[in-house]
Amino acid sequence: MKKIILIALFLTLSLNTFAQTDCEFSSNVTDSIGTYKSTKEYLMHERVFGNSQTSIFFSLINADGLLSLNIQMISKSSEFIAAKCFDKSSKIYIQLTNGKIVTLISPETETCGNAVINDKENIRILNGYFLFVKDNFEELKTSPISFIRIKYAGEAIDYVCKSELFSEVDKKTYAPDNYFMNYLKCVQ
């Protein structure tokens, strides 16, 4: 009887461990011009403190075989929000739990996003696209993320990647450390 219970427990754990993540797309178009796939935005970092909130979302894009990462930062506050900008020297460094670092580069000229001001709060939205470097791209498929360093135009900020992130805003649970392991397959 013990063996049957152990086997059942092992099979249950194995199925949960190897379960595939479904691919959800915000765009999936193929036409005479080419193909374009974009995964839905995924929460990678959230900070809610007092009357301010900052959220960072990732989405993966495949445009005619060119893989890129879209990053969107949304900041909300009743106070002034300083602008963060991306320029041609901006990079994203992703440190994996196996110790390797994957670098993504910005092909863009300077962008500082958009500011929206209403009666209740200030909102700043920054979008940027980053290209994968071919040399260490495969590492993202096999190892979880431990840190993300984003080099903006004037500063670099480190973000710790959690294995489980419960969003105070949308009340959902995310697994940012496994983002690339779960979703790179969707755009390849």
How many CB atoms are closer than 10 A to CB 137? 15
pLDDT band at 65 (very low <50, low <70, confident <90, very high): confident
Q: How much is the pLDDT for 2?
A: 43
d(CA 101, CA 143): 11
Could you tell me which of 90, 102, 94 has the C-alpha nearest to residue 44? 94
- Mean pLDDT in residue range 74-79: 92
d(CA 130, CA 185): 18
Q: Which residue has the higher pLDDT, 44 or 26?
A: 44
pLDDT band at 15 (very low <50, low <70, confident <90, very high): very low
% of the chain exceeding 70 in pLDDT: 88
Tokens in use for 32? 């005479």
How many CB atoms are closer than 10 A to CB 92? 20
How much is the pTM?
0.83
User: For the chain, which residues make up each domain, given as ranges?
Assistant: 22-187
pLDDT band at 19 (very low <50, low <70, confident <90, very high): very low
Q: Which residue has the higher pLDDT, 1 or 180?
A: 180
Tokens in use for 91? 């990079």
Three-class SS state of 135: helix
Tokens in use for 2? 């013990």
